[in-house]
């Protein structure tokens, strides 16, 4: 166990810091469909706290400057950790913000294309409206 | 050649003297020299940049920049691996009495892998968003400098790595132009799924 790579810690770092990054990016760009909180400043604070907490937890919990033939990570493991952590952060952000603001975009007949849709609606609603025509054609 | 080697060695020894005098500085260098702090900060910056932009056109320009930076990172890593097959240079800590705050890497010191990948990211995003290019460049400089201070690289390794990174970014831009319209299709798919 002592020589197992700390891939789980690294993925957790990317997951939590990814949540924080998404909160900050969404707050700065008015993407309400990705925000956990209504207030912009509170979202910026939450994002900053998540990033700082994730970094502190990762670097203070154990020595990280170790080679990849002990507990350190090679480039492929870092890439995998990044994809898993950030991908998970996006999924949780999309689901949690939809649960927190379930009516966001419900009253609008059509929502803007691309990321601009997240200014008016939450991600599951946008994705459903984008994919619904394809499902209907299949039936 | 011998003079360059001597200059390299004396710069590493001189910079390394800064370590051990202040615990705060040592800890800062310990964090900066790590395999994780600068790459994670750069990656998250680019992730955030993906979602920014006042409209679809500006956002698409930035997203193309992020794609170019990611491709440049891959090219830079590949170029370093290839150059490591051509020659091997031992690390400064093998020959010099230095305090190393990283660990003892066993691969070639020349060209500096850290400088190559970080410069590739900075140069990759530069044409699309200069402020982000500057932030990533600052992180790349701090990462490379901390590794020289720690006796992990010679200054010439870092300069060569930076050159590799810049070349990788130019190559990535060219390849993306050749690949058109595939990047445009990818971004269209992303827009359809409300991810771009």
> Residue B2's pLDDT is what?
80
Which residue of B48, B77, B194 is in closest CB contact with A114? B194
pLDDT in tens, A115-126: 999 999 999 999
Contact A21 B44 (CB under 8 A): yes
Contact criterion met (CB < 8 Å) for A65 and B102 = yes
pLDDT of residue A3: 75
Q: B168: pLDDT confidence band, cut at 50, 70 and 90? A: very high
Asked if residue B186 has pLDDT above 90, the reply is yes
How close, in Å, is residue A82 to chain B by CA atoms?
8
B140 to chain A, minimum CA–CA distance in Å?
A: 17
**The model scores a pTM over 0.90:** yes
Q: What is the mean pLDDT of the segment spanning B65-84?
A: 97
Q: pLDDT, tens digit, for every residue of B139-162?
A: 999 999 999 999 999 999 999 999
From chain B, the residues in CB contact with A130 under 8 A are: 192-194
Long-range pairs, A66-71, Cβ under 8 A, ≥24: A66/B103, A67/B103, A67/B104, A67/B105, A67/B106, A68/A5, A70/A3, A71/A2, A71/A3, A71/A4, A71/A5, A71/A6
> Any chain A CB within 8 A of the CB of B33?
yes
Mean pLDDT across B33-53:
98
Residues 88-147 of B with CB under 8 A from A: 101-106
- Return d(Cα A60, Cα B177) in angstroms, integer: 44
Give CA–CA dist B144/A45, Å, rounded.
30
pLDDT for the residue numbered A4 = 84
CA A76, A81, A82, A83 dihedral sign is positive
Over 80: is that where the pLDDT of A45 sits?
yes
CB contacts of B196 in chain A (<8 Å) are 114-115
Chain A: residue whose CA lies nearest to B81: A75
Rounded distance between C-alpha atoms, residue B74 and residue B113, angstroms? 12
How confident is the model at residue B102, as a pLDDT? Answer: 97
ipTM: 0.94
* pLDDT tier, B1 (very low <50, low <70, confident <90, very high otherwise): low
pLDDT band at A2 (very low <50, low <70, confident <90, very high): low
Residues in chain A within 8 Å Cβ distance of B194: 113-115, 117-118, 123, 126-127, 130
Does residue A1 carry a pLDDT above 60?
A: no
Which residue of A lies nearest to B77 if distances are taken between CA atoms? A75
Shortest distance, CA A57 to any CA of chain B (angstroms)? 13
Residue B152: exposed, middle, or buried by beta-carbon count in 10 A (0-12, 13-18, 19+)?
A: buried
Q: Using CA atoms, how far apart are residues A103 and A86, in angstroms rounded to an integer?
A: 26
CB within 8 Å: B51 and A66? no
> What do you get for the CA distance between the two ends of chain A, in Å?
52
Residue A106 has pLDDT above 60, yes or no: yes
C-beta separation of B53 from A29 below 8 A: yes
């Amino acid at each position: 166990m002592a020589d197992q790579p700390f891939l789980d810690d690294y993925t957790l770092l990317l997951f939590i810091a990814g949540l924080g990054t998404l909160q900050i990016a969404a707050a700065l760009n008015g993407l309400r469909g990705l925000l956990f909180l209504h207030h912009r400043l509170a979202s910026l604070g939450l994002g900053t706290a998540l990033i700082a907490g994730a970094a502190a937890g990762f670097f203070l919990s154990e020595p990280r400057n170790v080679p990849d033939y002990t507990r350190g990570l090679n480039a492929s493991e870092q890439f995998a950790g990044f994809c898993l952590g950030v991908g998970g952060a996006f999924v949780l952000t999309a689901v949690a913000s939809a649960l927190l603001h379930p009516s966001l975009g419900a009253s609008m007949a059509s929502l803007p294309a691309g990321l601009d849709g997240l200014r008016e609606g939450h991600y599951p609603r946008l994705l459903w409206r984008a994919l619904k025509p394809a499902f209907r054609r299949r039936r | 050649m011998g003079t360059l080697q001597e200059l390299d060695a004396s710069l590493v020894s001189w910079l390394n003297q800064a370590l051990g005098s202040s615990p705060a500085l040592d800890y800062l260098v310990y964090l900066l020299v790590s395999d994780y702090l600068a790459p994670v900060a750069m990656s998250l910056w680019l992730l955030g940049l993906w979602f920014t932009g006042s409209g679809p056109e500006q956002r698409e320009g930035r997203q193309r920049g992020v794609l170019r930076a990611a491709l440049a990172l891959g090219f830079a890593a590949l170029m370093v691996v290839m150059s490591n097959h051509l020659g091997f240079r031992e690390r400064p800590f093998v020959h010099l009495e230095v305090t190393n705050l990283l660990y003892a890497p066993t691969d070639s010191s020349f060209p500096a892998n850290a400088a190559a990948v970080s410069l590739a990211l900075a140069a990759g995003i530069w044409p699309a968003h200069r402020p982000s290019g500057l932030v990533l460049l600052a992180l790349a400089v701090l990462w490379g400098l901390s590794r020289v201070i720690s006796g992990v690289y010679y200054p010439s390794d870092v300069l060569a790595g930076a050159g590799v990174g810049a070349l990788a970014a130019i190559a990535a831009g060219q390849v993306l132009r050749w690949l058109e319209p595939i990047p445009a299709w990818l971004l269209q798919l992303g827009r359809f799924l409300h991810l771009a």
